[in-house]
């Protein structure tokens, strides 16, 4: 009998197992994969994601093999904003969510999942969690309407049965636990992006680059093995046409969004792997908990990749749920109180506002005149540029940036005019052009 | 260990087909029961995708029943199709509804184009979408006096009647016989028109009496009247503050003060709501490099959509310590709460102690209009001259001045205490019932009861449902509140019976629950 069985051993699961085991609980964590291995993700970690790793004592292991930076370039229709997530906003974020602000770091990184997830799984094992890989959960054991354990199959075909006081579903977007419990989806947002990416060697641009133009985006971020993660994305409506020629359209998208990046990749880059892709990114929420079970990570809520936040959110869930479960397992609170605390944080107003922000962003509509003008107004205003980046990354609440009195003041404080940007020359015609599917 | 990862990278083949292509092959094979081809192709699918789509039995295709009789093949086809078809294709939405629920007003603040007339069309298209979907909460009209119940028409011409939390008349003066009598008398004595700026000949003897009465109420002798509360706030700030001066303003202070600050100087700092310590730090900061210019610190008393108020005692002290001047807007609390109707100032024992006080008559005093008060006759003359909205605007009408004077009299009388007691009985009934139903009332008990919703989509659809259910409540969203923290602002009147308030709370809860079900939303309203 375990205190907790965690199904899934990546960002959400291994972290939850690690934190519960460190509290001294008996934890079993299983995954159908073996490690090291990849999973679909462009694996960018914002500074709060890195801060979680630091809080858990794992950051050094990651940074030993992964390039990190603190300033990032966000370029929208040629309007460049360069900034970083401010430490005070990071601290505030951790205080608000977790009650303490220790271990905050300002750096970000792109960490291959085969690197990161392995570190997490090993840390969980070292903390005393029992880790079983190549182990697929195929059934939840339910008694009196309560989940009390799991049955599954190891790679060699052997069948297992284990029981625990709580089963944590950390098994991703296509969660088996959620399917077995027949859980509904809430707040579904079908509009999302298609994303295609791969790994190129041969150049080093320093900090990360995120560009948007029209309905397309691209990102180039240095990652492990002296490579760059190069990503293009666009509205899922265009995916069928994109798929007709994945390598050709990847380059075409790069050239369209950022001719400079397109050129670097074409002339200096060597692609090291096949191109990966998905458009299975519609957003949803699932019920968070029930008798004998609780969900974390993508299993509880998946969102589009366009703000690169899922892994960081999985870490956040792991800290929230392990704190909540810890209070229950030690008899400090009832399970209901403990789950209500978790739910309060996860289904809060701030969470709803950010969810809306991501889902709207994921529709990949061309930027409106208003939005581009705001980017121009932000140039030269470092404090507010940084706050904007922090808001985009879900460090600072959406409501604090997108507040009338703030937006009006940003206008008043603008240092630059929009005169120098081609997109404003004939905005209406440019917007119409942007609606055309580039790959049709 | 990370270095193990480095080894495995070489095992992936650059020329393997991408997963989309492979999945198309698998789908084709599955439709034909070709489990061998499925198995063969599955082996080529990347680890990335296999570990992601853990619900697909990638390793077990060979064992599938090729006849499809057990439905497993069909399930795999369905699951893979879901992964590779754009999701919105199978859940169509009403474009009007999507557009109406999605945008917020700020998206239209900087339209494109040089034709000032034509470029308003884009915004209008959105307004029309919200009208068509009945989610436009603005510009409704009254069909009769707005009592505790009101009859209204929305801007599509649809009528309804309901318990009215949509009007600001905290002490129910609009139907008070003495108030109406005062209006009639002034009408008879002076006619409807003031016929001039207060700097010329727009004021009457009643105006002077009103200034005295207001001065007694706030304990500050020198009072100036303005045609609206908005004009008073704007006029006070632009009257005093010059380009090189500084304004420190609560982030959530009223629009008239924010706009005044922007109009007066570029040196505007918005401080965290209610945070007096933040004000102190900003003052230290400003004074460390600027000892020559003025600093105006600006806050509301009772905040109009948050129902809370600052610690004014400390705030005023901190201001004095740094040679800053405090301006407090008591539009909502003066008359409606506090000992003898003295509002937040009286509650904090600050009558006569605050540098500058401004207010609006439109919430409790039953009329348009506003005022600025201080202990300084010089400040009064200065603001009259340089606060443009006093000098260059027609004075309050005699009827308005008379109504406000009578309201001020009742507010300070025992009847005022009685009315405030009734008001607070209704306020408590409403807040208790809403809270008891698991909803979140923000702030403190006061005539403003902000019921937190958060998400705009939820607020807009709940508001649509409420229209036909017998409660009139104003839904506030951006730009009144920050994005993602929309709410119903319920404004209570002394005329509301406690049972009426409880009934309204039940109806509101029903509308929110139904709207949540309609949107299938799982978000709650805890702030963080
Ligand atoms: C294209 C794309 C790009 C992305 N880019 C980023 C990014 O840049 N930054 C970012 O932060 N996020 C990104 N995300 C999101 C991020 O990848 C996910 O949010 C994150 O992987 C979720 O972690 P998780 O632990 O919840 O689930 P997963 O990482 O999906 O792990 C779930 C695990 O559960 C296991 N499992 C499933 N079923 C069973 C079972 N029955 N028995 C045993 N084990 C099981 C699986 O094998 C898997 O290992 C991206 C997502 C996509 C689609
Ligand atoms: C705090 C505050 N100040 C000023 C005003 C402006 O008052 P009036 O509506 O009388 O112009 C209002 C009302 O909107 C308010 O809420």
**pLDDT tens-digit readout, A238-247:** 999 999 999 9
**Is the Cβ of B92 closer than 8 Å to some Cβ of chain A?**
no
Give pLDDT, residue B7.
41
How does strand A159-169 pair with strand A186-189?
unpaired
Terminal CA-CA length for chain B:
37
Give pLDDT, residue B10.
43
Q: Which of B77-81, B155-159, B486-490 has the lowest mean pLDDT?
A: B155-159
- Ligand 2 site-directed mutation target among B169, B233, B357, B447, most atoms within 8 Å of CB: B233
**Is the Cβ of A413 closer than 8 Å to some Cβ of chain B?**
yes
A41 neighbourhood in chain B, CB within 8 Å? 48
Reduced to 3 states, what is the DSSP secondary structure of residue B325?
strand
Contact: A278, B83; criterion CB under 8 Å: yes
Summary mean pLDDT of chain A:
96
Give pLDDT, residue B63.
93
Contact: B483, A403; criterion CB under 8 Å: yes
Give pLDDT, residue A391.
97
Contact: B266, A246; criterion CB under 8 Å: no
Query: From edge to edge, which strands make up the β-sheet containing B159-165?
Result: B141-142, B149-153, B159-165, B471-476, B486-491, B448-454
Ligand 2 atom index nearest CA of B256: 4
Its sign, for the CA torsion B423, B425, B426, B428, is: positive
**Is the Cβ of A435 closer than 8 Å to some Cβ of chain B?**
no
Give the count of Cβ contacts less than 8 A between chain A and B: 240
Mean pLDDT of A331-345: 96
Q: Whose CA is nearest to atom 37 of ligand 1?
A: A171
**Does residue A40 line the site of ligand 1, with CB under 6 A?**
yes
Q: Which of A154-158, A297-301, B220-224, B341-345 has the lowest mean pLDDT?
A: A154-158
Give pLDDT, residue B455.
87
- From B58's Cα to the closest Cα of chain A, the distance in A is 12
- From B45's Cα to the closest Cα of chain A, the distance in A is 10
For residue A189, the Cα-to-chain-centroid distance in whole angstroms is 17
**Does ipTM surpass 0.90 in this model?**
yes
Give the DSSP letter string of A155-189. Answer: TTS-EEEEEEEEEEE---TT-HHHHHTT---EEEE
Cα of B525 from ligand 2 centre, angstroms: 27
* CA proximity to A89, closest of A399, A312, A394, A309: A394
Is the Cβ–Cβ distance between A15 and A56 less than 8 Å?
Answer: yes
Give pLDDT, residue B524.
78
**Does residue A16 line the site of ligand 1, with CB under 6 A?**
no
State the CB neighbour count (10 A cutoff) for residue A226: 12
**Does residue B256 line the site of ligand 2, with CB under 6 A?**
yes
* CA proximity to A50, closest of A325, A401, A393, A300: A393
**pLDDT tens-digit readout, B91-105:** 777 888 888 888 788
Contact: A274, B86; criterion CB under 8 Å: no
Cα of B281 from ligand 1 centre, angstroms: 44
Kindly give the residue spans of alpha helices, DSSP state H, lying in A290-381.
310-329, 335-346, 349-361, 369-378
Phi first, then psi: give them for residue B360, nearest 5 degrees.
-130, 145
CA separation for the pair A168, A3 (Å, rounded): 11
Tell me which of A58, A59, A274 to substitute to probe the interface with B (most B C-beta atoms closer than 10 Å).
A274
Give pLDDT, residue B13.
61
Summary mean pLDDT of chain B:
93
CATH of domain B135-164+414-519: 3.90.1150.10
**Does residue B333 line the site of ligand 2, with CB under 6 A?**
no
CA separation for the pair A298, A317 (Å, rounded): 10
A3 has a pLDDT exceeding 50: yes
Which of A276, A352, A428 has its CB closest to that of B19?
Answer: A276
Is the Cβ–Cβ distance between B362 and B231 less than 8 Å?
Answer: no
Is the Cβ–Cβ distance between B391 and B385 less than 8 Å?
Answer: yes
Phi first, then psi: give them for residue A285, nearest 5 degrees.
-120, 145
Phi first, then psi: give them for residue A158, nearest 5 degrees.
-70, 145
Query: From edge to edge, which strands make up the β-sheet containing A68-69?
Result: A44-45, A108-110, A68-69
State the CB neighbour count (10 A cutoff) for residue B190: 18
**Is the Cβ of B457 closer than 8 Å to some Cβ of chain A?**
yes
Reduced to 3 states, what is the DSSP secondary structure of residue A222?
strand
**pLDDT tens-digit readout, A25-46:** 999 999 999 999 999 999 999 9
Residue B33, by phi and psi: left (phi above 0), alpha (psi -120 to 50) or beta? left
**Does residue B198 line the site of ligand 2, with CB under 6 A?**
no
CA separation for the pair B484, B303 (Å, rounded): 18
**Does residue A118 line the site of ligand 1, with CB under 6 A?**
no
Give pLDDT, residue B101.
85
Ligand 1 atom index nearest CA of A173: 30
Cα of B263 from ligand 2 centre, angstroms: 18
**Is the Cβ of B517 closer than 8 Å to some Cβ of chain A?**
no
**Per-domain residue ranges for chain B?**
6-89, 95-129, 135-164+414-519, 193-411
B127 has a pLDDT exceeding 60: yes
* CA proximity to A183, closest of A328, A289, A339: A289
Give pLDDT, residue A160.
94
* CA proximity to B355, closest of B414, B310, B272, B299: B299
Tell me which of B270, B485, B486, B517 to substitute to probe the interface with A (most A C-beta atoms closer than 10 Å).
B485
CA separation for the pair B421, B170 (Å, rounded): 11
**pLDDT tens-digit readout, B162-196:** 999 999 999 999 999 999 999 999 999 999 999 99
CA separation for the pair A388, A85 (Å, rounded): 9
B427 has a pLDDT exceeding 60: yes
CA separation for the pair B80, B26 (Å, rounded): 9
Q: Which residue has the tokens 């610190």?
A: B297
**Does residue B174 line the site of ligand 2, with CB under 6 A?**
no
Can you count the helices (H) and strands (E) in chain A?
17, 22
- Could you name the CATH architecture of B193-411? 3-Layer(aba) Sandwich (3.40)
Cα of B31 from ligand 1 centre, angstroms: 29
* CA proximity to B467, closest of B517, B515, B521: B515
Mean pLDDT of B210-230: 98
Cα of B298 from ligand 2 centre, angstroms: 14
B4 has a pLDDT exceeding 60: no
pLDDT band at B6 (very low <50, low <70, confident <90, very high): very low
* CA proximity to A90, closest of A77, A100, A80, A78: A100
Q: Which of A351-360, A387-396, B301-310 has the lowest mean pLDDT?
A: A351-360
DSSP state of B441: B
CA torsion, ordered B337, B338, B339, B343, to nearest 10 deg? -90
* pTM, full prediction: 0.91
Count of residues for chain B? Answer: 528
Give the DSSP letter string of A377-396. Answer: HHTT-HHHHHHHHHHHTTSS
Is the Cβ–Cβ distance between B150 and B166 less than 8 Å?
Answer: yes
Same fold, B135-164+414-519 and B193-411: no
Reduced to 3 states, what is the DSSP secondary structure of residue A28?
strand
Is the Cβ–Cβ distance between A137 and A30 less than 8 Å?
Answer: yes
What residues of chain B, 465 to 484, have a C-beta less than 8 Å from chain A?
478-480, 482-484
**Does residue A136 line the site of ligand 1, with CB under 6 A?**
yes
CA separation for the pair A144, A148 (Å, rounded): 9
CA separation for the pair B175, B88 (Å, rounded): 54
Alpha-carbon distances, residue A316 vs A15, A346, B323, B412 (angstroms):
9, 9, 45, 54
**Is the Cβ of A40 closer than 8 Å to some Cβ of chain B?**
yes
CA separation for the pair A144, A172 (Å, rounded): 27
pLDDT band at A197 (very low <50, low <70, confident <90, very high): very high
Give pLDDT, residue B113.
86
């Amino acid at each position: 009998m375990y205190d907790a069985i965690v199904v899934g051993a990546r960002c959400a699961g291994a972290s939850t197992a690690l934190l519960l085991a460190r509290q001294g609980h008996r934890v079993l964590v299983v995954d159908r994969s073996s490690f090291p291995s990849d999973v679909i993700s462009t694996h960018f970690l914002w500074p709060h994601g890195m801060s979680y790793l630091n809080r858990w004592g794992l950051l050094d292991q990651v940074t030993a093999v992964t390039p990190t930076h603190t300033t990032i370039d966000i370029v929208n229709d040629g309007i460049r904003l360069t900034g970083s997530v401010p430490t005070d906003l990071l601290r505030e974020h951790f205080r608000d969510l977790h009650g303490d602000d220790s271990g905050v770091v300002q750096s970000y990184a792109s960490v291959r999942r085969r690197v990161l997830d392995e570190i997490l799984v090993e840390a969980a094992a070292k903390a005393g969690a029992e880790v079983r890989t190549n182990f697929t959960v195929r059934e939840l054991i339910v008694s009196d309407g309560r989940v009390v354990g799991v049955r599954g199959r190891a790679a060699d075909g052997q069948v297992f049965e284990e029981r625990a006081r709580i089963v944590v579903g950390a098994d991703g977007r296509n969660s088996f636990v959620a399917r077995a419990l027949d859980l509904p989806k809430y707040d579904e947002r079908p509009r999302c992006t298609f994303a295609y990416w791969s790994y190129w060697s041969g150049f080093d641009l320093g900090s990360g680059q995120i560009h948007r133009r029209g309905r397309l985006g691209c990102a180039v971020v240095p990652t492990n093995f002296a490579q760059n993660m190069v990503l293009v994305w666009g509205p899922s409506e265009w995916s069928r046409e994109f798929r007709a020629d994945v390598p050709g359209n990847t380059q075409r998208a790069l050239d369209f969004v950022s001719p400079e990046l397109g050129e670097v990749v074409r002339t200096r880059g060597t692609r090291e792997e096949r191109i990966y892709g998905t458009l299975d990114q519609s957003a949803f929420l699932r019920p968070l908990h029930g008798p004998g079970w609780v969900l974390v990570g993508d299993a509880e809520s998946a969102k589009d990749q366009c703000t690169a936040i899922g892994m960081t959110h999985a870490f956040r869930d792991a800290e929230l749920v392990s704190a909540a479960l810890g209070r229950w397992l030690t008899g400090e609170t009832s399970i209901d109180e403990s789950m209500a605390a978790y739910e309060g944080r996860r289904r809060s107003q701030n969470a709803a506002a950010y969810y809306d922000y991501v889902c709207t962003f994921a529709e990949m509509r061309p930027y409106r005149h208003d939005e581009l003008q705001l980017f121009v107004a932000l140039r030269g205003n470092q404090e507010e540029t940084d706050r904007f980046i922090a808001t985009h990354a879900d460090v600072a609440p959406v409501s604090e940036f997108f507040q009338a009195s703030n937006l009006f003041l940003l206008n008043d404080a603008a240092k630059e005019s929009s005169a120098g940007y081609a997109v404003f020359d004939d905005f209406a015609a440019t917007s119409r052009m942007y609606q055309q599917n580039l790959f049709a | 260990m990370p270095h193990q990862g480095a080894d495995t990278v070489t095992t992936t083949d650059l020329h393997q087909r991408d997963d989309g292509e492979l999945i198309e092959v698998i789908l084709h094979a599955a439709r034909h029961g070709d489990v061998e081809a499925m198995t063969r192709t599955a082996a080529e699918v990347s680890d990335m995708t296999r570990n992601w789509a853990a619900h697909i039995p990638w390793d077990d295709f060979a064992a599938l029943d090729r006849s499809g009789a057990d439905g497993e093949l069909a399930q795999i086809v369905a699951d893979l199709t879901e992964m590779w078809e754009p999701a919105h294709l199978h859940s169509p939405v009403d474009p009007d509804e999507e557009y109406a629920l999605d945008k917020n007003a700020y998206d239209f603040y900087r339209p494109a184009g040089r034709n000032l007339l034509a470029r308003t069309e884009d915004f209008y298209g959105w307004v029309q979408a919200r009208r068509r979907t009945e989610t436009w909460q603005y510009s409704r009209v009254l069909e009769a006096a707005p009592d505790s119940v009101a009859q209204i028409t929305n801007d599509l011409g649809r009528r309804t009647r309901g318990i009215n939390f949509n009007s600001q008349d905290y002490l129910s003066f609009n139907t008070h016989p003495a108030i109406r009598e005062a209006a009639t008398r002034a009408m008879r004595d002076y006619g409807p028109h003031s016929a001039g700026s207060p700097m010329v000949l727009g004021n009457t003897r009643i105006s002077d009496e009103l200034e005295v009465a207001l001065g007694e109420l706030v304990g500050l002798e020198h009072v100036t009247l303005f045609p609206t509360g908005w004009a008073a706030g704007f006029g006070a700030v632009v009257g005093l503050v010059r380009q090189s001066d500084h304004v420190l303003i609560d982030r959530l202070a009223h629009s008239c003060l924010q706009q005044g600050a922007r109009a007066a100087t570029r040196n505007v700092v918005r401080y965290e709501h209610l945070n007096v310590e933040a004000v102190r730090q900003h003052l230290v900061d400003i004074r460390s490099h600027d000892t020559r210019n003025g600093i105006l610190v600006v806050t509301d008393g009772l905040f109009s959509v948050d129902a809370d108020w600052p610690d004014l005692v400390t705030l005023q002290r901190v201001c004095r310590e740094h040679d800053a001047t405090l301006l407090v807007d008591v539009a909502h609390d003066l008359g409606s709460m506090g000992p003898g109707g003295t509002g937040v100032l009286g509650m904090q024992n600050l009558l006569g102690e605050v540098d500058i006080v401004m207010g609006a008559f439109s919430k409790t005093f039953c009329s348009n209009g506003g005022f600025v008060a201080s202990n300084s006759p010089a400040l009064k003359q200065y603001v009259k001259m340089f606060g443009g909205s006093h000098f260059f605007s027609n004075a309050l009408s005699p009827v308005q001045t008379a109504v406000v004077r009578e309201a001020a009299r009742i507010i300070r009388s025992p009847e005022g205490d009685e009315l405030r007691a009734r008001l607070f009985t209704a306020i408590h009934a409403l807040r208790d019932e809403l809270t008891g139903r698991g909803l979140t009332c923000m702030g403190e008990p006061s005539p403003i009861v902000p019921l937190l919703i958060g998400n705009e989509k939820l607020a807009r659809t709940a508001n649509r449902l409420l229209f036909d259910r017998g409660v009139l409540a104003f839904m506030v969203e951006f730009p009144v509140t920050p994005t993602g923290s929309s709410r119903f602002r319920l404004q209570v009147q002394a005329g509301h019976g406690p049972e009426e308030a409880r009934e309204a709370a039940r109806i509101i809860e029903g509308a929110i629950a139904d709207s949540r079900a309609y949107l299938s939303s799982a978000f709650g309203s805890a702030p963080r």
